[in-house]
Structure 1
Amino acid sequence: MTAVDRLESGDHACLTFSETEERLDLLAAFVTAGIQQGERILCFTDALSVDALHHDLRLRGVPAEEEIRPAGDLWSSGASPDASIMVRRLAAERDRSPRGLRVTLDMCWAARPQAGAEQLLVFENEVAKLFADSGITAICEYDREAFDSVTLAYASRTHPRTVTATVYHEDATLRICRQHVPPGVRVAGELDGGGAGALRDALAEAVRLDPDVHLNLGHLRSLDDDAAAVIVRAASGLPRNRHMIVVSDRRTGRALRLAGAHGVPNLRLLEKSL
């Protein structure tokens, strides 16, 4: 497994995701790294519109230096996906990118009935040949909700690299993972005393790595007293020049205030209609 912002020219990576926010975070980190290296950035989108992906990257602080196109541009408008055409067009884009090409590919096109399972097999096998001479770096994005387990396993095997968010805890009711942009921690589901230890570890790592700690609770359905106390204690332990910025809905914000958040100057609570 490779950190998304450490992929280098010639890397061909698989990104599987179950949360759109997690996927967008990783894409933002990947695109930003390419911009910093002076590469040409080309994003092919399918599940999201061109305008929606452009908007989401701007929200994550990515400079508007990438090209975003519908995935259908890789074969031709109105036609069924053709893997051979797609690979040839990617090769042409690489050849006209002297400073290197960085590509994101939304693979949802392969889940359509008209695509045919054989097109995905052909694409992933043929596109791998483009990376032999370097000059191109790519992430293929697979939504776990759109593909069956056999296809996801095949996708993982055919990519030399795999990228994903660091996951501190995941079960049927709770997921705690690393957030790339802005750097910090994202929590989704139901957070109670059973998940407090994993949350404590995640926040401790964020304190070590990040100037300010961003805690995204936007997809949290419930927060109990013990877990709220972990958040407040972590914020209160920060030095004066550092802050914890917590994004939540009003219900979660109320639980944090009851746990003492209002008395911690290092904790900034941003309540939004999420």
Structure 2
Amino acid sequence: MAPTTAVDRLQPGDHACLTFSDPDERLDILAAFVAAGRERGDRVICFTSAVNVDDLRTDLLLRGLDAGPEVSVLPSDRLWGDNVAPAAATMVELLTRELRQALSDGYRGLRITADMCWAARPQANAEQLLVFESEVARLFEDGRFTAICEYDRESFDPVTLGYASRVHPRTVAATVYHEDPLLRICRQHVPPGVRVAGELDHTRANALSDALAEAVRLDQDVHLNLNQLRFIDAGAAAVILRTAANLPDQRRMVVVCAEAVETALIAAGAADIPALRMLVRHGER
């Protein structure tokens, strides 16, 4: 199995596989990959299938990544041009042309994200996925082409996911602070901070405290994404409020959450913490 690498440690010329089940985690990794490409001076293309083009552009914009001339979001079927169904040779040829054009336009290289859900469609020939992943490898040889291939675990069988892991030199994943059947706490890259999903109570408060402590150390402002949090108790809420209250002057914590979580944080005393700002789904507080 390919070694797991944090997205912010990928190097030019890397060919990485992302297998995901959490759409938020996928989007965060994709956004960090795009941001790194822009900073480096690469041309960036995001080929999307499971998420439509407009929604992905909006999601990137919400993370501060406006799709300027150096960033394109395209439907996956653009990869196979005028063909009715995906063809590996056509896809590799198109990417070769895009790389040449990017270099001709003065970019340092080309980086792409490819939503591989096209391979799970009825009209797709499964063999084309195997050929594509094999043939595209030659584009990475001079370090000017970088890519993440995205595999949704709900769309592919275990055999295909295992193959994807084997043919990619690297796999990319979020840094995980805690994971069990009820709770997942991991690093968020864009905006930088911590993402929590599931159910959070006082018995797991230490894991949350450790994750927030690293965010305080690494980030100017702490972004805490609780969008996928279904439950929080008073003990866990107190950890969040204590971290926000102890931030140095001019720093703040931004919490993104659903209304039920906002209600729990307010009951715990969130209104008394000047450094705490809450952005609530379907509204802002």
TM-score, normalisation: structure 1: 0.95
Q: CA deviation at 1:43?
A: 1.4
Q: Are residues 1:36 and 2:44 paired?
A: no
Report the AA paired with residue 103 of structure 1.
I
CA RMSD of aligned residues (A): 1.5
| Residue among 40, 55, 60 paired with 1:57 | 60
What number of residue pairs does the alignment pair up?
274
Counterpart contact for 1:184–1:215, Cα < 8 Å: yes
Map Cα deviations across residues 84-125 of structure 1 (whole Å, 9 max, x no partner). 211121112112221211111110011112212211111111
Cα distance in 2 between the residues matched to 1:192 and 1:21: 22
**Percentage identity across aligned positions?**
62
| Residue among 261, 269, 273 paired with 1:252 | 261
Could you say which residue in structure 1 is the equivalent of 2:135? 126
SS of 1:240's partner is: coil
Give ranges in structure 2 of 5+ residues lacking alignment: none
Cα distance in 2 between the residues matched to 1:39 and 1:152: 29
Q: Are residues 1:27 and 2:30 paired?
A: yes
Q: Which residues in structure 2 correspond to 1:1-274 (within 5 Å)?
A: 1-65=4-68, 66-77=71-82, 79-98=84-103, 99=107, 100-273=109-282
SS of 2:217's partner is: helix
Q: CA deviation at 1:269?
A: 2.3
Q: Against the structure 1 CA distance between its residues 270 and 50, is the aligned structure 2 distance closer, same or farther, given a 3 Å change threshold?
A: closer
TM-score, normalisation: structure 2: 0.91
Cα distance in 2 between the residues matched to 1:78 and 1:87: 13
Map Cα deviations across residues 208-265 of structure 1 (whole Å, 9 max, x no partner). 1110111111111111111111111111221122111112222211211222222222
Cα distance in 1 between the residues matched to 2:259 and 2:98: 47
Give ranges in structure 1 of 5+ residues lacking alignment: none
